[in-house]
Amino acid sequence: MSRRATSAPAVRRSTIVRIATLGGIGNVPPAPGTVGSLIGAACGFVLLGMDWRAYLVLVVAACALAIFVTGRAAQELGQADPPNVILDECVGMWCALLLLPANWYDLTAVFLLFRIFDVVKPSPIPKLERLPGGFGIVLDDAAAGLLARATWWLLQANFDFL
């Protein structure tokens, strides 16, 4: 047996886990959820120039894919919602960016609201989190994203200085 073969890692991660952890970035401490949200914000910001209908189709497709991938990754890792799985935060952030103007001010506000709602989990988000497999992993973040977007819209509609 060659020396190279003996130095291989004991646990080899599948492609599903690599996708769910965004290439292993989710394994970087101390705040993988925030990092996943930042990646989602950066990628989403680039996509904000798309027609809103195309963006909506992309977000729905990304949510469906994320439900499958995160569910399989959770099974493989043996945890209900592994903290290193951050694809759900990325997709949740894309939900928060729906119909958002492409500027840093709005992006920053929605990002902060998303992180607050993702951590605090106001009702009914905890009920979504209890759904089985990838549904619970992704839909709570999608709901936090939509709540962040709706909150920012309501704040701007009611306060002229925002």
Kindly report, residue by residue over 104-136, the tens digit of the pLDDT: 999 999 999 999 999 999 999 999 999 999 999
Sign for the CA dihedral angle at 136, 139, 145, 148 comes to negative
Q: What residue type is assigned to position 15 of the chain?
A: T
At residue 147, does pLDDT exceed 50?
yes
Whether the per-residue pLDDT at 81 is higher than 50: the answer is yes
SS (H, E, C) the chain: CCHHHHCCCCCCCCHHHHHHCCCCHHHCCCCHHHHHHHHHHHHHHHHCCCCHHHHHHHHHHHHHHHHHHHHHHHHHHCCCCCCCCCHHHHHHHHHHCCCCCCCHHHHHHHHHHHHHHHHHCCCCHHHHHCCCHHHHHHHHHHHHHHHHHHHHHHHHHHCCCC
Q: Global pTM? A: 0.89
The tens digit of pLDDT for each residue in 3-45 reads 444 433 435 579 999 999 999 999 988 899 999 999 999 999 9
Q: How far apart are CA 156 and CA 162, in angstroms?
A: 5
- Structure tokens of 158? 């009611």
**Average pLDDT for the chain:** 91
